[in-house]
Structure 1
Amino acid sequence: MYNYYPWYPMQQSGGFSPYAANMGVRQQNGNGNGNGDGNGMLSMEQSYIENILRLNRGKRANVYMTFEGNPDWQSMVFRGIIDEAGRDHIVLRDPEAGRWYLLLMVYLDYVVFDEEINYQYPFE
């Protein structure tokens, strides 16, 4: 099985875990979900792809994805309008084709917009 995150040693081995850094934030907030505001959204002090995509809902985008090990379609471009974005997914609507795509972030390479994007850098 292909390991998508080979640079993260397993937590069981006592090595580094990307989730360990968030544990202090969760404990400080007291709400247990790692958010700064307690309403289910991530704090704007954190610049994550999902937050940037949420700021740009309704904009047309080209989403480039790579599916390693697939002999039929190793990479694809999905074109449409960003409807939603979550921690592990993007919902893209293609009005010309009448389709909606639920795309997994694990396959995401990059996103190209046809217009200026909304972006708020952390701590502004």
Structure 2
Amino acid sequence: MYWPYYNPYGNGSLSVQGWDDVSVSQQRQRVYSEDLLSRNIGKTVTVYLTFENNPQWTAKKITGTLRGVGRDFIVVRDRQTGKDHMLLNIKIDFVVFDDRPAALAGE
């Protein structure tokens, strides 16, 4: 359900969230991490992860080839073992692109 709110950029009337008559040129394009990652499939990356309340290891680093990207996960083939790892985005701290500069989404 959408609740009415005052739009400070509109005509002073109440509007419904998401239904504002703002021109397309004023809207910012949203770029998500999955957009950036999907444009860099096949590149070498180092992924840093943390796992809270895990007695075996609290942090992990995986270096390998980025093989696939989903909405909430990435797949990396480990350079040392040759195994594919599906890594959940919620556990990922950051990703470093080792090969070449990462192509930004929209470029």
Give me the TM-score of the superposition, normalised by structure 1: 0.59
One-letter amino acid matched to 1:71: P
Q: How many residues of Structure 1 are paired with residues of Structure 2 in the alignment? A: 81
Matched-pair identity in %: 40
Larger fraction in strand: 2
For residues 95 and 67 of structure 1, the distance between their equivalents in structure 2, rounded to whole angstroms, comes to: 21
Work out which of the residue numbers 80, 105, 111 in structure 1 matches 2:64.
80
1:71 aligns with 2:63: no
Give the Å deviation of 1:97: 1.7
Higher relative contact order (CA 8 A, sep 6+): 2
Write out the 4+ residue segments of structure 1 that deviate beyond 6 Å after TM superposition. none
Aligned counterpart, 2:105: 120
Pick the structure with greater CA Rg: 2
Aligned counterpart, 2:83: 99
Cα gap change, 1:74 to 1:95, in 2 (>3 Å):
closer
For residues 37 and 60 of structure 2, the distance between their equivalents in structure 1, rounded to whole angstroms, comes to: 19
Give the Å deviation of 1:79: 0.9
Q: Which runs of 5+ in 1 are unaligned?
A: 1-22, 26-44
1:49 aligns with 2:60: no
Give me the TM-score of the superposition, normalised by structure 2: 0.68
Give the Å deviation of 1:91: 0.6
